[in-house]
Copies of this chain bind each other. A is one copy, B any other.
Amino acid sequence: MDLTETAETAAFRAEARAWLADHVPSSPLPSLETREGFAAHRAWEARLHADRWSVVSWPEEYGGRGVDLVHWLVFEEEYWAAGAPGRVSQNGISLLAPTLLDHATAEQRARVLPPMASGEVIWAQAWSEPEAGSDLASLTSRAVRTEGGWLLSGQKTWSSRAAFADRAFGIFRTGPDTPKPHQGLTYLMFDLRAPGVTVRPIGRLDGKPAFAEIFLDEVFVPDQDVIGEPGQGWRIAMSTTGNERGLTLRSPGRFLAAAGRLTALWHAQGEPADTALRDRVADAVVGARAYELFTWAAAARFAAGGAAGAESSLNKVFWSEYDIALHETALDLLGADAERADGEWAEPWIFSLAGPVYAGTNEIQRDIIAERLLGLPKGRR
């Protein structure tokens, strides 16, 4: 049991810190959920990529540094501590890339990953459908075989980033008459500007088009954009949800930085005698630390060959509820200024509110924790 950093890791940390100190924009970029901000964030991805900081954990051939999870965690700590911009490429990097690395052909990896790393191609996810949210397996959008590829038809929704992104990935029904809903699904990538695609941006609570509906009308997808075997889409999609993704979806560094900002706000605005707020600030500090340490332990388990499983559900419930509590504390510290739309906590608060629903609702995650980690009998679902 050990938390000391090796000299090599410390050197990596120092290198990241120095680079970030030199390059992080001195004033925040516009929100990445706006056209202008999206472009600025894309440029920032290119800047990161130029010095190989955009995807440190990827193999070098695709633009990474081939470092392990520990280094990735260190990089993330430094990244968020430096106040660096949000990652507009996050969907591609944390959802699609692990799938490509596990299941794609060498040709696909070589073709898709480098432009993802550079921000040249930005990816949207296209999982949910209007009638398939928590019950994802019930999706009905289909891909029909055609010469040299597939024709996609149907509707996807809640596609984050889709308003401004270039391409999207998701699973589609290719064998409609299977006995179980998880069968006959195929994992595909498609162009958001292809003929037959209509993207309708959807305004978030603050009006920003943080997600979109995607209408698909016989959209052609060449065979080269099918990942893995047709019909194996569910298995492929699920195989990467249980792995390190649980750890890399929201890095501890983000919350350590947020807890640091909250503590600074408390020092600036808080009444030291107000223990009710003090306790909530302390809880945020301790929670960020707990999340960090939980992640270090999970990284050590992976390094020792342990498999990840339903722990990612623990992780998901923890960070999403933590994030809301942290932002509510900030708003309570701000008092009358809490509702100012131009306040620096307003957009992060709105963003935090999506956490319990996003990436598998916390209700479903708690069912998973109870059934898979505690072995409770499966109920009706």
Contacts and interface: CB of A to CB of B under 8 A. Distances in A.
A135 interface: no
Q: How large is the interface on A (under 10, 10 to 19, 20 to 34, 35 or more residues)?
A: under 10
Contacts of A274: 275
Contacts of A277: 275
A275 B275 CA distance: 5
Interface string A277-305: 11100000000000000000000000000
A268 interface: no
Nearest to A273: B273
Contacts of A379: 380
Given A380-B379, A380-B380, A276 B276 contact: yes
A274 B272 CA distance: 10
Interface string A341-381: 00000000000000000000000000000000000000110
A276 B279 contact: yes
* Residue of A276, A278, A379, A380 with most chain B CB atoms under a 10 A cut-off: A276
A279 B280 CA distance: 13
A231 B273 CA distance: 64
A277 B278 CA distance: 12
Nearest to A380: B380
Nearest to A279: B276
A275 B270 CA distance: 13
Q: Tell me whether chain A's interface is mostly helix, strand or loop, or mixed.
A: helix
Contacts of A279: 276
A96 to B, nearest CB: 37
Contacts of A278: 276
A379 B276 CA distance: 39
A276 B273 CA distance: 10
A281 to B, nearest CB: 12
A275 to B, nearest CB: 4
A277 B279 CA distance: 11
* Residue of A275, A278, A279, A379 with most chain B CB atoms under a 10 A cut-off: A275
A273 to B, nearest CB: 4
A274 B277 CA distance: 10
Contacts of A380: 379-380
A279 B279 CA distance: 12
Contacts of A276: 275-276, 278-279
A284 to B, nearest CB: 15
A278 B380 CA distance: 43
Interface string A299-320: 0000000000000000000000
Nearest to A274: B275
A279 B276 CA distance: 8
Interface in A106-122: none
Interface in A241-284: 273-279
Contacts of A273: 273, 275
A302 to B, nearest CB: 38
* Residue of A274, A277, A278 with most chain B CB atoms under a 10 A cut-off: A274
A53 B278 CA distance: 49
Interface of A: 273-279, 379-380
11 contacts: A273-B273, A273-B275, A274-B275, A275-B275, A275-B276, A275-B277, A276-B276, A276-B278, A276-B279, A379-B380, A380-B380
Nearest 10 interchain pairs by C-beta: A275-B276, A273-B273, A276-B276, A274-B275, A276-B279, A275-B275, A380-B380, A273-B275, A379-B380, A275-B277
Given A276-B276, A380-B380, 9 more contacts: A273-B273, A273-B275, A274-B275, A275-B275, A275-B276, A275-B277, A276-B278, A276-B279, A379-B380
